[in-house]
């Protein structure tokens, strides 16, 4: 009978130790966990309002239960939050005071540097800009100087129209704010909106509602048509053909995605999923979509 291979004493333990992540790897993964926008929103909700149940997260953030549960499982297993059960309900809280300190420090630093952060070229997914003539122009606008410095200094020096010709709304707004010496908080006060709304426009691809655009034009010293042109999205090549088509249609009507969701009688996250996850509406929803857009259902891509 063949004899099985016998490990030398200590060999198995050394192999296991070799497969463990280093302390520096763990630190990288710790901050990667905080880099997800949804998880960060959940942590900030716990920081500002204390314990929350799953249904509390659903109500406050407008997210489906499955998505909330998925993110909570990550936050709990990685040590950001702790949980306690009370009857049928589970309540979540920040794990300890160190997590609170990290979140408070992050808020303080990001408030101070939010305009520069908006222009940072190394933050994934923030710098993609589509040009109207992709055949003759590069696919992105470089935002890093040759010496590795951030181009937010360049923004202050060069506010020319030619440099702005193909910028999407967030980078364009950043240039305008720097050129006029305004902070996001000052713009928010002038428009009567929250500072977080302005940050969404700068960082996360959001747009001001149609009723705000004429006032925004006055504050920035540009025409209302210029603002409207900037709000018009530059579809990313990552969008599905349906999402790219719908993006053009809703911006031609000066609608936001939230407005489209309202007109369709859907939750906003359902419409967002068409853009972020490549999903397509079911047949009954496509019929409603055609009716809302006043087009034939056959004009919707993929029918």
pLDDT tens figures, 184-195 = 888 988 998 888
pLDDT at 287: 93
pLDDT at 93: 93
pLDDT tens figures, 91-140 = 999 998 999 999 999 888 887 777 667 666 566 444 343 333 333 333 33
The CATH code belonging to domain 34-95 is 1.10.10.10
pLDDT at 15: 42
Residue 293 confidence class, pLDDT cut points 50, 70, 90: very high
Residue range 54-74: average pLDDT?
Answer: 87
pLDDT of 251 strictly over 80: no
Query: What is 106-132+141-231's CATH number, 1.10.260.40, 3.90.1640.30, 3.90.1150.10, 3.40.50.300?
Result: 1.10.260.40
Q: In this structure, what token pair is assigned to residue 296?
A: 């034939």
CA distances from 76 to 19, 38, 158 (A): 23, 14, 46
Segment of 42-51, 138-147, 158-167, 210-219 carrying the highest mean pLDDT: 42-51
Residue 289 confidence class, pLDDT cut points 50, 70, 90: very high
Domain boundaries, the chain: 34-95, 106-132+141-231, 241-299
Residue range 1-29: average pLDDT?
Answer: 54
Distance CA 50, CA 53 (A): 10
Note whether 34-95 and 241-299 share their fold.
Answer: no
Distance from the first to the final alpha carbon of the chain: 66
pLDDT of 21 strictly over 60: no
* Helix (H) / strand (E) containing 86: strand 81-86
Distance CA 265, CA 268 (A): 9
pLDDT at 36: 83
- Report the length, in residues, of the chain: 303
pLDDT tens figures, 148-191 = 333 333 333 344 444 455 567 778 888 888 888 888 888 988 99
Give SS3 for 40.
Answer: helix
The CATH code belonging to domain 241-299 is 1.10.260.40
* Structural contact between residues 121 and 127, judged by C-beta atoms closer than 8 angstroms: yes
Nearby residues of 123 by Cβ (< 8 Å), 6 or more positions away? 117
């Amino acid at each position: 009978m063949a004899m099985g291979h016998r490990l030398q004493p200590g060999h198995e333990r050394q192999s296991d130790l070799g497969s463990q992540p280093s302390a520096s790897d763990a630190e990288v993964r710790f901050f990667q966990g905080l880099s997800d926008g949804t998880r960060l929103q959940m942590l900030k909700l716990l920081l500002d309002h204390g314990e929350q149940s799953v249904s509390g997260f659903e109500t406050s953030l407008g997210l489906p239960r499955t998505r909330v549960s998925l993110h909570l499982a990550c936050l709990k297993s990685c040590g950001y939050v702790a949980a306690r059960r009370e009857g049928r309900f589970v309540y979540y809280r920040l794990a300890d005071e160190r997590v609170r300190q990290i979140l408070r420090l992050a808020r303080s630093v990001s408030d101070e540097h939010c305009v520069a952060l908006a222009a940072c070229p190394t933050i994934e997914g923030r710098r993609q800009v589509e040009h109207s003539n992709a055949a003759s122009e590069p696919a992105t606008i470089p935002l890093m100087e040759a010496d590795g410095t951030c181009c937010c200094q360049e923004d202050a020096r060069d506010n020319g129209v030619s440099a702005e010709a193909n910028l999407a709304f967030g980078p364009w707004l950043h240039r305008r704010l720097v050129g006029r010496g305004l902070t996001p908080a000052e713009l928010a006060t002038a428009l009567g909106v929250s500072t977080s709304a302005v940050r969404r426009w700068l960082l996360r691809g959001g747009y001001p509602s149609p009723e705000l655009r004429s006032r925004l034009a006055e504050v920035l010293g540009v025409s209302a048509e210029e603002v409207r042109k900037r709000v018009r999205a530059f579809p990313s090549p990552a969008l599905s053909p349906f999402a790219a088509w719908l993006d053009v249609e809703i911006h031609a009507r000066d609608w936001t995605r939230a407005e489209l969701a309202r007109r369709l009688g859907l939750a906003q996250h359902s419409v967002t999923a068409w853009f972020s996850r490549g999903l397509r509406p079911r047949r009954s929803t496509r019929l409603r979509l055609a009716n809302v857009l006043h087009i034939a259902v056959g004009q919707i891509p993929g029918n």
